[in-house]
Amino acid sequence: MMSFYFGRLVEIYPFFLKGLWMTSKIAFISLVSCTLIGFILGIFRSSNSLILKRVVGVYVAFVRGTPFVVQIFIIFFILPEWGIQLDAFAAALLAMAIMGSAFICEIVAGGINSISRGQWEAATSSGLTLIQQLRLVIIPQAMKVILPPLVGQYVLLIKDTSVVSVIGVMELTRVGWVTVVRIPEGLMVFSLVGILYFSISYPLILLSNYLERKMSM
Amino acid sequence: MIEFKNVNKWYGKLHVLNNINLKIPKGEVLVICGPSGSGKSTLIRCINRLEKIQDGQIIVNNTPVHDKATNLTKLRAEIGFVFQQFHLYPHMTVLRNVMLAPVNVKKMSKTEAEKISLAKLEQVGLTEKSGSYPAQLSGGQQQRVAIARGLVMSPEIMLFDEPTSALDPEMIGEVLDVMVNLVSEGMTMCVVTHEMGFAKKVADRVLFMDDGKIVETGTPSDFFDNPQTDRAAEFISKILTH
Q: How confident is the model at residue B17, as a pLDDT?
A: 94
Does A129 reach chain B within 8 Å, measured CB to CB?
A: yes
Does A118 reach chain B within 8 Å, measured CB to CB?
A: yes
Cα–Cα distance between B127 and B114 in angstroms, integer?
Answer: 12
Q: How confident is the model at residue A111, as a pLDDT?
A: 97
Task: For residue B83, give the nearest of A118, A132, A140 by CB distance.
Answer: A118
Phi, psi of B107 (to 5 degrees): 55, 40
CB contact under 8 A, A127 and B88: no
**C-alpha distance from residue A197 to each of A17, A23, A103 (Å):** 11, 9, 21
Q: What is the ipTM of this complex?
A: 0.92
Pick the residue of B52, B100, B156 with the most A CBs within 10 A to test the interface with A by mutation.
Answer: B100
* pLDDT tens column, B58-95: 999 988 998 888 888 888 988 999 999 999 999 999 99
Q: Is the pLDDT of residue B233 over 60?
A: yes
* pLDDT tens column, A108-136: 999 999 999 999 999 999 999 999 999 99
Beta carbons of A56 and A105 less than 8 angstroms apart: yes
* pLDDT tens column, B120-174: 999 999 999 999 999 999 999 999 999 999 999 999 999 999 999 999 989 999 9
pLDDT band at B196 (very low <50, low <70, confident <90, very high): confident
Pick the residue of B47, B104, B152, B161 with the most A CBs within 10 A to test the interface with A by mutation.
Answer: B104
CB contact under 8 A, A122 and B73: no
Cα–Cα distance between B45 and B121 in angstroms, integer?
Answer: 25
Amino acid (one-letter) located at A48: N
CB contact under 8 A, B76 and A126: yes
Q: Is the dihedral of CA B100, B103, B109, B113 positive or negative?
A: negative
Q: Is the pLDDT of residue A155 over 90?
A: yes
CB contact under 8 A, B105 and A126: yes
Pick the residue of B41, B49, B73, B98 with the most A CBs within 10 A to test the interface with A by mutation.
Answer: B73
- b/e code B27-38 from CB counts within 10 Å (16+ = b): ebbbbbbbbeeb
For a pLDDT cut of 70, what percent of chain B falls above it?
A: 99
User: Strand B188-192 vs strand B157-161: parallel, antiparallel, or unpaired?
Assistant: parallel
